[in-house]
Amino acid sequence: MTGSARVLVTGAGGFVGRALVARLARTNEVVAASRGTHVGSAALRQHRVMEVDGATEWDAALAGCGTVVHLAARVHVMRDTAADPRAAFMRTNRDGTRRLAEQAAQAGVRRFVLVSTIGVCGANSMRGAPIGPDSPLAPLDPYSESKVAAEHALRKSCAASGMEWTVVRPPMVYGPGAPGNFAAMLRVLARRIPLPLASVGNRRSLVALDNLVDLLAVAVAHPAATGRILTVSDGEDLSTPELLERTARAMGLPGARLFPFPPPVLGAMLRMFGRDRTARRLLGHLEIDALPTRAALGWRPVVGVDEALRRAVA
């Protein structure tokens, strides 16, 4: 790795951030930027940042850094209390990324790795037509729109400064302590709630925390990551029933309690009650083409789905 081996990780106190800091600290000097007062071991450099927006001061955190991995973001909020949610997403994800990229370039940072989302290309894919790095942009919500804007802001800043950029677009990330939809799924399975999903035949890509963190560690230093959009997955797509069954077995349960129900009818019912996102997630396809990433970086997932599920529910 040329230049400084010091890496700034923003969002270091989050689900992915904590795991990435621990991984990078094996071989790099890490600056952990988070809202909390301490992340990781006492040997790590800490930087506290309460708000990420167009006015955040990053100079102290960036001092001596050769690489930035930008994880800090405003993500989906179930009960959003912001007066203007779209503006709030843009303020953190677009303006915050632009500000950090500009200050990183001024500080002499060599590479900026932005963790985006596969949602910039839409919530679903066509069966047999996976989303790849060159797929058209089709964001469907303010969060994904703000991530598109963040990607554009980063590339514009890098074009002006000569700083290298890499964008990583993961699907749903699961692992120990995973929040959001994965945590909700574990609660439903643990309560043995019957679900009308046995007839669903979709295909969806996921990525285990260990696999995403390993790819990010590779992207920090690999020459071929420069100027590249990296799509990532575990390499094994699952239907919703398969995911539920295999997760249940990882939990030590005899299986998920699923019963057949026509998916078109279930989808119509969910949409009638304003649960469009739930319908897309449970019934729709979301296949990701990670082969370009594997070919470019020589990268392979470090853990398989069943082992990753066991780690996630341990």
The set of catalytic residues is 143
Question: Under a CB-based contact definition with an 8 Å cutoff, are residues 65 and 6 in contact?
Answer: yes
Q: From CA 308, how far away is CA 176, in angstroms rounded?
A: 9
Residue type, 220: V
Which distant-in-sequence residues (6+ apart) come within 8 Å of 252 by Cβ? none
Strands 45-48 and 29-34: parallel
Q: From CA 30, how far away is CA 8, in angstroms rounded?
A: 6
Q: From CA 150, how far away is CA 129, in angstroms rounded?
A: 26
Q: From CA 93, how far away is CA 232, in angstroms rounded?
A: 21
Q: From CA 66, how far away is CA 145, in angstroms rounded?
A: 29
Q: From CA 74, how far away is CA 146, in angstroms rounded?
A: 9
Structure tokens at 16: 């992915």
DSSP-based three-state secondary structure for 69: strand
Question: Under a CB-based contact definition with an 8 Å cutoff, are residues 290 and 235 in contact?
Answer: yes
